[in-house]
C-alpha cells in the first residue's frame, strides 16, 4: 500500500477521510436521481471558499458546511452532497472574470471562432448564463451582435451593464427561459462558461437551455473536467460552489434527458483542465468522432467505478506531506512566506492542510474587490499584488496555479530580485 495512504489510515491526517471509511450517502444523484452513491472523499466541515471577511467579522463564528464527494455509478457524475442556498453563495460575489488577462484572451479567441463558425451577425442573439462582468459577451457587442447576459450577482451585473453589456440580474433556469422564450427571445448561441457545475437544479438549467435555444441554435459550454481533477490531484477545485464534477459520460446522460445531443467536444488546458462541448436539439447535427472517442476512453478508464478515484486520496496525502515539510523548512530558516491569489481553490487548500497565519504573513490579489478583506477560515489579510515588491518575502505560495504563466510574467521584477514561487499543484515546484 502507498505509504501516504497508510499515514491516512493511521490517523496522521484527519482533515479528510479515505473512501472506504466514509459514511454512506443518503442523497440522490443530481442528474439521474439514483441512490446509493459511492463515497469518494470527506473533507469534513469547511467554510465557504469565497466568503471573504471584513475585519469586524474576524471574531464571529464562521458558518461551515459538510464537504463530501460522492460518485453516481449509474450516470458517472461526481458530486458533493451539500447544497448551500444559491442566494448565500452568489448574490454578492467577489470573483470578477476580467481580472485575469489569460481568461480575457481565451474568451476573445473563443468568440472569434464562434462568430465565424456560426456566421453570427446583427440579426443573431447570443445569450450567456452566469455572464459575470460581461468579459465574454463584450466580444460580441464589439461586433454589433445582440447579446443578453444573465448574471445573479447583483454587484457584478451592475458592472456589466456599465460596460455596455445588456444584463439581467437573475438566476438562469427553466422558469426564466420560459419567460424569455414567451417574449420572443431565442438564442442562436447559448453560452455557459464555468457555471454548470455551480447549479443546484442541474436538470432545470439544462431544460432551460432546451427552451431558449433556437431550433438550429448551438449551445457551447465549458466545464472543469473531472478526469483532469483525478489524474492531476487537483482536489482544490472541490468546494461548495462546485456541486458537480463532470465527465463527458455524465454530461451525455444529462443533456439526453432533455432532448439535447452533444455533437462536439474538445479538451482545454484552461483552469487546470476543462471540456468545451457543443450541444444542439436532437437530430440537428451529426455527432463528431471526438465525442465518440472520448466516451469510449472514459469507459476504458472506469469512470463509473469508485476504484478509479482511489488515486486521488493518495495524491492529496502526498502533496500535504511534501508541502508542509517544505514550508516548515523555509520557516525554520527564518525566511518569510506569503501567498498569491485569494481564490476559492486557495481556500480549499489552506483550510484542508491547516496552513494559516502561523506560516503565511499575508496573501495578495489583483482584485480590488478582495483587497482589505480576510480569507475564510485562515483569516489572512488580503493586500494588493504590489505588496510583493514592497515587502519582498522570500517565497510566495501560488494558490491560483491555473494562471501560473500569467502571474509569473507579471511578477518578473519580484523574481529578478530573488523572490521565489512555490507552485503546489499538480505537484510541488519551486520557481
Average confidence (pLDDT) over 175-187? 97
Q: Assess if residue 315 is contained within a domain.
A: no
Provide, rounded to the nearest whole percent, the portion of the chain with pLDDT above 70. 91
52: pLDDT strictly greater than 80: yes
CA distance 373 to 371: 5
Q: Is 215 exposed, middle or buried (0-12, 13-18, 19+ CB in 10 A)?
A: exposed
Predicted confidence at residue 17, as pLDDT, reads: 35
Has residue 9 got a pLDDT over 80? no
Residue 250 located in a structural domain: yes
Write down the pLDDT at residue 98: 56
Residue 2's pLDDT band (cuts 50, 70, 90): very low
CB 370 within 8 A of CB 342: yes
CATH classification at residue 181: 3.40.50.150
Quick check: is 43 in a domain? no
The answer to whether residue 361 sits within a structural domain is no
pLDDT in tens, 97-133: 555 677 778 778 888 889 888 899 999 999 999 998 8
Residue 96's pLDDT is what? 55
Question: With bands split at pLDDT 50, 70 and 90, how would you rate the model's confidence at 90?
Answer: low
Residue 168 included in any domain: yes
Contacts of the segment 171-175: beta carbons below 8 A, 24+ positions apart: 171/86, 171/90, 172/129, 172/130, 172/205, 172/208, 173/199, 173/201, 173/204, 173/205, 173/208, 174/201, 174/204, 174/205, 174/207, 174/208, 174/211, 175/204, 175/208
pLDDT value for 230: 92
Name which residue leads in pLDDT, 247 or 426: 247
Instruction: Examine the pLDDT at 427 and tell me if it is beyond 80.
Output: yes
Of the chain, the percentage scoring pLDDT greater than 90 comes to: 77
What is the reported pLDDT for 94? Answer: 53
Choice among 109-113, 183-187, 216-220 with the minimum mean pLDDT: 109-113
Above 60 in pLDDT, residue 274?
A: yes
For residue 65, CA distances in Å to 38, 50, 202, 236, 244 come to 20, 13, 20, 16, 16
Upstream peptide bond of 26 is cis (omega within 30 degrees of 0): no
Between 323 and 91, the more confident residue is 323
Full domain range(s) for residue 283: 97-303
> Is residue 351 within 8 Å of 376, Cβ to Cβ?
yes
Give 142-179 pLDDT, tens digit per residue.
999 999 999 988 888 898 999 899 999 999 999 999 99
The vertex-178 CA angle with 172 and 182, nearest 5°, equals: 130
- Is 197 within the bounds of a domain? yes
Does the pLDDT value for residue 16 go beyond 70? no
Grid cell 451585473 — which residue?
A: 157
Say how many domains are in the chain.
1
Query: Is the residue at 417 inside a domain?
Result: no
Is the pLDDT at 3 greater than 50? The verdict is no
Q: What is the pLDDT of residue 413?
A: 97
**What one-character-per-residue DSSP string does 192-224 give?**
EES-GGG-SSHHHHHHHHHHHEEEEEEEEEEEE
Evaluate whether 67 touches 238 at the Cβ level (below 8 Å).
Answer: yes
- Residue 8 inside a domain? The answer is no
Contacts of 402 (CB under 8 A, 6+ apart): 270, 271, 272, 345
Mean of pLDDT values over 68-72: 96
pLDDT-derived band at 26 (thresholds 50, 70, 90) equals: low
Amino acid at each position: 500500500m502507498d505509504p501516504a495512504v497508510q499515514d491516512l489510515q493511521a490517523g496522521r491526517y484527519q482533515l479528510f477521510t479515505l473512501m472506504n471509511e466514509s459514511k454512506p450517502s443518503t442523497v440522490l444523484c443530481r442528474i439521474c436521481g439514483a441512490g446509493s452513491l459511492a463515497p469518494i472523499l470527506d473533507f469534513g466541515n469547511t467554510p465557504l471558499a469565497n466568503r471573504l471577511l471584513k475585519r469586524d467579522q474576524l471574531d464571529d463564528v464562521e458558518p461551515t458546511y459538510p464537504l463530501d464527494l460522492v460518485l453516481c455509478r449509474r450516470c458517472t457524475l461526481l458530486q458533493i452532497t451539500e447544497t448551500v442556498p444559491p442566494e448565500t453563495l452568489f448574490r454578492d460575489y467577489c470573483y470578477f472574470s476580467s481580472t485575469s488577462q489569460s481568461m480575457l484572451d481565451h474568451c476573445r479567441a473563443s468568440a472569434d471562432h464562434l462568430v465565424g463558425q456560426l456566421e453570427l451577425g446583427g440579426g443573431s442573439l447570443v445569450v450567456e448564463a452566469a455572464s459575470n462582468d460581461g468579459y465574454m459577451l463584450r466580444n460580441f457587442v464589439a461586433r454589433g451582435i445582440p447579446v443578453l447576459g444573465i448574471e445573479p450577482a447583483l454587484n457584478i451585473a451592475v458592472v456589466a451593464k456599465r460596460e455596455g453589456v445588456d444584463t439581467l440580474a437573475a438566476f438562469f433556469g427553466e422558469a426564466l427561459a420560459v419567460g424569455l422564450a414567451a417574449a420572443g427571445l431565442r438564442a442562436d448561441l447559448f453560452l455557459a462558461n464555468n457555471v454548470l457545475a455551480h447549479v443546484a437544479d442541474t436538470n432545470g438549467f439544462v431544460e432551460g437551455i432546451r427552451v431558449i435555444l433556437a431550433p438550429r441554435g448551438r449551445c457551447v459550454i465549458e466545464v472543469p473536467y473531472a478526469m483532469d481533477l483525478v489524474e492531476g490531484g487537483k482536489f482544490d477545485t472541490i468546494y461548495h460552489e462546485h456541486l458537480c464534477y463532470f465527465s463527458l459520460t455524465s454530461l451525455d446522460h444529462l443533456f439526453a434527458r432533455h432532448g439535447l445531443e452533444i455533437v462536439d467536444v474538445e479538451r482545454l488546458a484552461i483552469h487546470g483542465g476543462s471540456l468545451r462541448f457543443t450541444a444542439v436539439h436532437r437530430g440537428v447535427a451529426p455527432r463528431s468522432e471526438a465525442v465518440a472517442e472520448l466516451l469510449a476512453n472514459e469507459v476504458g478508464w472506469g469512470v463509473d467505478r469508485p476504484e478509479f478515484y482511489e488515486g486521488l486520496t493518495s495524491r492529496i496525502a502526498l502533496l500535504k506531506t511534501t508541502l508542509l515539510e517544505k514550508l516548515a523548512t523555509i520557516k525554520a530558516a527564518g525566511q518569510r512566506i506569503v501567498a498569491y491569489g485569494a481564490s476559492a481553490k486557495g481556500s480549499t487548500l489552506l483550510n484542508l492542510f491547516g496552513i494559516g497565519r502561523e506560516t503565511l504573513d499575508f496573501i495578495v490579489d489583483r482584485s480590488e474587490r478582495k483587497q482589505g478583506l480576510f480569507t475564510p477560515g485562515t483569516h489572512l489579510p488580503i493586500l494588493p499584488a504590489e505588496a510583493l515588491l514592497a515587502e519582498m518575502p522570500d517565497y510566495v505560495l501560488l494558490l491560483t496555479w491555473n494562471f501560473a504563466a500569467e502571474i509569473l510574467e507579471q511578477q518578473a521584477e519580484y523574481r529578478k530580485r530573488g523572490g521565489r514561487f512555490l507552485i503546489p499543484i499538480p505537484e510541488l515546484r519551486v520557481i
